[in-house]
Chain A
Amino acid sequence: MYRREYLTAFSAATVWVAGCLSDDTPTALSPPDRAVSSDDLAYPAHGERLPEVELDSPLHDQVVSTTEFVDAREVLMTFVLTRCPGPCHTLTAALAHAQADANEHGYESELALMPVTFDPEHDDRLTLEEFSRDNGADPTAANWQFLRPETPTEAETVVGETFGVGFEEVPPEEADHDDHGHHDDDHETTFIHTNLLVLVNRDGYVERAYDGQPPSADVILDDLHTVRDTFA
């Protein structure tokens, strides 16, 4: 079924049961409860195919396509910079929680974690490795592919335009410190950016695009388990 057809099906059937994958539907999860359709969002959202882009994976010294794992693994993808004071850690840690869960339950070869930096001038290989470890991930594992555009221009093209994740550097004097005036000396430069974490099923369709405040890790794991169970 084509995209327009299954969106029509969504509206015709007021009840959609999570975990009921059929030949007609590309996703295991129900559409999220929101006023806009996936078409109207800048980023890949429920029921849309993950865009295909090739990027460097410096931790493994290889080039990886964002669709590399179609037909083989579920994918969790997010967009971060290591100089970020807060949400990028939370997003990366959510992927690390999934990596730990996969290790614990033996599905590490059926999951790919793909954080993508949009700060390639700062985020070299060692920085990405340290950031991964700090947030609880195993950066040496084959399923941890930290992707990096080669240049800021490519970051804007890939992250900003292809994946619809807006970001903009904020000079230190304009940075928004917390409401109690706390200044974090570790993060002189920061970015305003969209928070986005995407769960993609093994057919390459977006199951859930978590935007805004990053969800708690257990929410992501619950959704991942539902998707895995449906595709099993």
Chain B
Amino acid sequence: MNRRGYLAALASAGVVGTGLAIHRWNSDPVGVDSVTIETLDAPGSDAGTIQIPLLDQPTVVDCFATWCSTCRAMMPRLGQVHEQYDDVEFVSVSVEPIGLSVHRHDIVEWWKQHDGRWTVGIDQNLEFTGSFDITTVPTTLVFDDTQRVVARETGMKSVETMSTWLSGT
């Protein structure tokens, strides 16, 4: 195939390697099923498991990876919003493959370096990834206290945007 051919194919596939899609999730009138996430012993986080979204409490879930510079840049913003909403559970979930070259202690170290102060876990069995079709990082989801997804967005989010989401939960 010549160059024109495959660039045409590129256009037809509607694909780019830069930029991140941003969209709001259509709120489902019925709450979603909770997923079990392994949590790590790290600042603001205890080793164990957590069911997300929580029952009867709004939950913010931020899917991240340690390689992701945008995820790194999001941490101070998440921290600000976390401080403002005592009644909201925050959970950051690494969606990386764990056990070959990225290990639990790497996640904890990244967490410390970027001043994480809430629950952090891993999606070891891809249960959350599969249930919520996580295809890029960062992806942030907000669940209200009936486990409905009220917001979903990829890429950078402002403090104001996230606060707006939470003010409606």
Contacts and interface: CB of A to CB of B under 8 A. Distances in A.
Interface stretch (A19-27, A147-155, A198-206, A211-219): A211-219
A41 interface: yes
Contacts of A219: 130
Contacts of B6: 42, 160-161, 164-166, 194
A31 interface: no
Contact of B70 (A104, A182, A211): A182
B79 to A, nearest CB: 17
Contacts of A184: 69-70
Interface residues of B, number: 46
A1 B27 CA distance: 48
A136 B135 contact: no
A178 B13 contact: no
Contact of A178 (B3, B5, B20): B20
Contacts of A100: 97-100
Interface in B1-46: 1-3, 5-10, 13-22
A86 B22 CA distance: 14
Contacts of B99: 100, 103-104
Nearest to B135: A216
B135 to A, nearest CB: 5
A57 interface: no
Nearest to A136: B97
Interface stretch (A59-67, A91-99, A223-231): A91-99
Interface in A123-141: 132-139, 141
Interface of A: 41-43, 84-90, 93, 96-97, 99-100, 103-104, 132-139, 141, 156, 160-161, 164-168, 170, 175-180, 182, 184, 186-187, 190-195, 211-219, 221
Top 5 nearest A-B pairs (CB, nearest first) are: A42-B9, A166-B10, A218-B130, A136-B97, A133-B101
